[in-house]
Amino acid sequence: MTFSPELEKRIEKLLASYPSNRRKSALIPMLMYAQDETGYVTRELVEEVARRIGIPPVQVDEVVTFYTMLWRKPRGKYHVQVCTNISCLLTGGEELYEHTCKKLGLGHRETAADGVFSLEEVECMGACSWAPAVQINYDFYHHVTPEKLDQLIDDLKKVH
């Protein structure tokens, strides 16, 4: 499996961050950064990462299936994450999520057929004081209202 030069550099840096007999430490960051490039964790990526670190594939599977940010199926180009945990719930997070479902025509952890958007109802993302919050890929949006969200999504549709 080939990666972009940037990713290769990142992986090299990662592997150098840990003692040489502790290469496995690089596993989760490696999957996270590689996933940014491959879109999700493919079987191929699992085997590749296992090979590079020198561990059996099952040890990669163990990790991939534990962490929610590691996806085993394709996500949209824009992955819309709406928090409905307690602080967001109190400030309209649930309504916002329902609105987003309708807007995108998607449900929890679903990806649109054209691959542009995917949706996820997420747990607290650390934006509680500026709730309700939404994250699109790695970008945070605070005090989000349904109108603001419509605007955001429409803008993204345009760029796309």
Partner 1 sequence: MLYNEPSPLETRVLTRRFSLPNSASIDTALANGGYQQFLKACGMTQEQIIDEVKASNLRGRGGAGFPTGMKWGFLPRQSPKPKYIVVNGDESEPGTCKDRVLIENDPHLLIEGILIAAQAVGAKAGYVYIRGEYRYLIDIMEKAIDEAYAKGWLGKNIQGRGVDFDLYTHTGAGAYECGEESALLESLEGKRGQPRIRPPFPAVAGLYQCPTVLNNVETFCAVPSILEMGGKAWADLGIPKAGGTKLTCLTGHVNKCGVYELPLGFPVEKMINEVGGGIRGGRKMKAFIPGGSSCPVLKGDEAWPLTMDYDAMAKAGTMLGSGGVVIMDETTDMVKAALRIMHFYAHESCGWCIPCREGTTWLKKILTRLDRGVGTTRDIDLAGDLAKNMLGRTFCPLGDAAALPTISIVEKFRDEFEAKLRKVQVAVPAFPDSPLVVMQ
Partner 2 sequence: MVNLTINGIAVQAPPGTLVIDAAKKAGIEIPAFCYYEGYSLQAACRMCLVEVEKMPKLQTACTLPVGEGMVVRTEAAAVVKARKTTLEFLLTNHPLDCPVCDKGGECELQDMVFRYGAGESRFTELKHHVDEKQWSPVVFYDAPRCILCYRCVRVCDEGMGVGALGVVNRGVLSEIAPSHGDHLECDECGACIDICPVGALTSGTYRYQTRPWEMQHVGTTCTFCADGCKTTLGIRNEKIVRGNNRDQSGINGEFLCVKGRYAFDFQEHPGRLTAPLMRINGKLEEVSWSKALAAVAAKFSEVKSRGGQFGVIGSTKTSNEENFFLQKFARQGLGTANIDHRRSGDIVTLIDALAGKTDALGSVQDAYLMKASLVVGTDLAQEHPLLAFQLRANFRHHDSHTYTVAAGPVREDSYSVAQVRAAAGEEMAGVESLRDRLAKEPELLVLFGASVKGEALRKLVAFVGSLGIAKVKYICLMDYSNSRGAMDMGLLPDLGPGYKPVSAAGLALPDMMASTGLDVLWIVGANPLARHELKSTGAFVVVQEMFLTETAARADVVLPASSAYEKGGTVTSGTGEVQRLHSAAKTMGAKPDLEIMGLIAKEMKLNLGIWANANVFEEIRREVRGYNIPLPTIATGQAVQTSPLNGRVAVASRPDLIQPAGNTLFTSGSLGKYSKKLTSVMEYPGALYKPQY
Instruction: For residue 159, give both structure tokens.
Output: 């760029």
Query: How far apart, in whole angstroms, are the C-alpha atoms of residue 28 and residue 104?
Result: 30
Residue reference for tokens 């996933």: 35
Q: Find which of ligand FES, partner 1, partner 2, none residue 149 binds, CB within 5 to 8 Å per kind.
A: none
20 near partner 1, judged by CB under 8 A: no
Tell me which residues in 118-157 interact with partner 1 (CB under 8 A).
123-131, 135, 138-140, 142
Residue 66 engages partner 2 in binding (rule: CB under 8 A) = yes
Pairing between β-strand 78-83 and β-strand 117-122 as defined by DSSP bridges: parallel
The region of 27-35, 121-129, 136-144, 148-156 touching ligand FES under the rule CB under 6 A is 121-129
Q: Do strands 139-141 and 117-122 pair parallel, antiparallel, or not at all (unpaired)? A: unpaired
Residues in touch with partner 2 (CB under 8 A): 43, 46, 56-59, 61-62, 65-66
